[in-house]
Amino acid sequence: MNNRLRTIILAAAAALPLGGCAVNIGKTTEIARAPAPMESLLTIRFQGIETPTGQIMLSMFDSQSAHDQNGAPVRVAAVPVEGTSAVVQFEGLAPGDYAVKAFHDVDGDGKMGTNPFGMPLEPFAFSNDAKAEAGPAKWAAARFPVVAGANTITITIK
């Protein structure tokens, strides 16, 4: 295969909107790759923990509809409590807006304890330390931006 044809094939492969494309050129295969989108690392620190047992259970959402209408979270975690704090990290997040709902599962049963009327008996919190409003805090109050690279937020469990 001549060099001009090889250059045209490689240029066409590089222009494809795929993450990578194998291009056979003679007896060799070359891979044309598009640059990876910027990803984020989010560190969440929980403070204000009064009982040094159990775990922090959290759900993270990336849209108002999922957050406010109990849709599917983009990430979930059970973070062991050590003393009066807990820390969790999420790698590979796309930059954008997120919100976190969390509670301190003091007894370690994996669910939030509630009274017969559905009121929480275990400590809980939301990102931005947003306040509950006749139910969980709303997206507008709890959302926070995540940019490419390292990000850290702190949530106070109450």
Length of the chain: 158
pTM of the entire structure?
Answer: 0.75
Domains present along the chain, CATH in parentheses: 3-33 (no CATH), 40-156 (2.60.40.10)
Q: Average the pLDDT over 101-106 and give the result.
A: 96
pLDDT tens by residue, 128-148: 999 998 889 999 999 999 999
Query: Contact at 8 Å (CB) between 108 and 53?
Result: yes
Q: Average the pLDDT over 57-81 and give the result.
A: 95
Q: 100 pLDDT exceeds 50?
A: yes
Determine the pLDDT at residue 150. Answer: 96
pLDDT tens by residue, 27-54: 544 444 444 568 899 999 999 999 999 9
Q: What is the mean pLDDT of the chain?
A: 84
Q: 61 pLDDT exceeds 50?
A: yes
Cα separation, 25 vs 49, whole angstroms: 61
